[in-house]
Amino acid sequence: MTEIVIHEVGLRDGLQMEQQVVSTEQKLRWIQSLLESGVDIIQLGSFVHPLKVPQMADTDELFKRVPASAEASGKRPVLSALVLNDRGLDRGLAVDVEMFCMGVAASETHSRKNTGRSVVEATEQIICMAQRALGAGKRLQVSVQSAFGCGYEGPVPESRVMGIVRRFLDGGIRAISLADTAGHAVPDRVEALFGAILDAGDDLECACHFHDTYGLALANTYAALKAGVKYFEASVAGLGGCPFTARAGGNLCTEDLVHYLQQTGARRDIDLDRLIALAKDVGAFFGREMEGSVHKVGPMGPADAVPQ
């Protein structure tokens, strides 16, 4: 069975969508809950220009302060960050980020809005950045964003995604993520596309990042699992959405994902109650009902008790 890795991205992909600024101290309290929950990777933020996304202005500070709390908790998840350009990579290297995430949009409109570059230009730039990160001994994940459709342009052909992925592979990248930024993925295409990528090499690892705009995030998760994807990105309370795409729904809810994986027996080691409490706390902070099911109705009960 595939070993499944949970990558919490709420602090980055979740919070960048929010107008209400979250203080560094508040983020640290949420990170403490995440540390105690036992999720595998926590994305602390992105190294983007603070004027562009003020919510991410304290990413450097978080990377300086969180490792000590992690040590004190006795928990040692990987801490990741998103970087968009060389300047961001410099900042990340300066604060010793363990895992770098970076990506290219498959749609021209999304690429230009996100980076000011065409898809081809952005791909070449990302490959250079990826090689710098690998050269520095860092963990790395490179994604194709809007891989299943674009909020501006609509459908994205599989051939275009595979073209970008092949360029990544030629550039020595072995961890490929597909991000469904606009929530356009359907499970049939998810299973086919990840299957095609994983067929391209025995040493590849795949990650997925789904948004639940049309209610399909968990269906797409199941399809990705079946295709052999190992890394699953999600946000507590379904926080999120991308400010650079039109009508992006929230991320797959971490607690709904963990609840599902508990029921199948794949991940019973994560503290779901802790994640549910965190989701409620996040909802109380923003003063609105958050996405997701399990933090509202509670878990279905211990799967350990399943008789056969």
d(CA 152, CA 227): 28
Strands (E), the chain: 5-8, 41-47, 78-83, 99-105, 139-145, 175-180, 205-210, 231-234
Nearest distance, CB of residue 280 and a copy of itself, angstroms: 16
Give the span between the Cα atoms of 66 and 233, in whole angstroms.
20
- Is 247 a residue that touches a copy of itself (CB under 8 A)? yes
CB of 219 to a copy of itself, least distance (A): 4
Q: Which of residues 66-125 bind a copy of itself (CB under 8 A)?
A: none
For a copy of itself, the binding residue among 19, 74, 159, 203 (CB under 8 A) is 159
Q: Which is nearer to a copy of itself, 56 or 218 (CB)?
A: 218
Q: Which window, 7-15, 88-96, 137-145, 179-187, contacts a copy of itself (CB under 8 A)?
A: 179-187
Q: What is the CA radius of gyration of the chain?
A: 18
What are the structure tokens assigned to 47, written together?
A: 């190294």
Residue (73 or 264) nearer to a copy of itself, CB: 264
**Pair 279, 15: CB distance under 8 Å:** no
- Cβ neighbors of 31 (< 8 A, separation 6 or more) are 11, 42, 44, 62, 66, 69
Positions annotated as catalytic residues are 242
Residues between 282 and 301 with contacts to a copy of itself, criterion CB under 8 A: 292-294, 297, 300-301
Examine residue 219 and tell whether it contacts a copy of itself (CB under 8 A).
yes
Task: Check binding of 20 to a copy of itself (CB under 8 A).
Answer: no
Which residue's structure tokens are 């971490």?
254
Choose which of 253, 270, 276, 279 interacts with a copy of itself (CB under 8 A): 253
By CB neighbour count within 10 A (0-12 exposed, 13-18 middle, 19+ buried), where does 21 fall? exposed
Q: Closest CB to a copy of itself among 14 and 88? A: 14
Among 28, 57, 134, 186, binds a copy of itself (CB under 8 A): 186
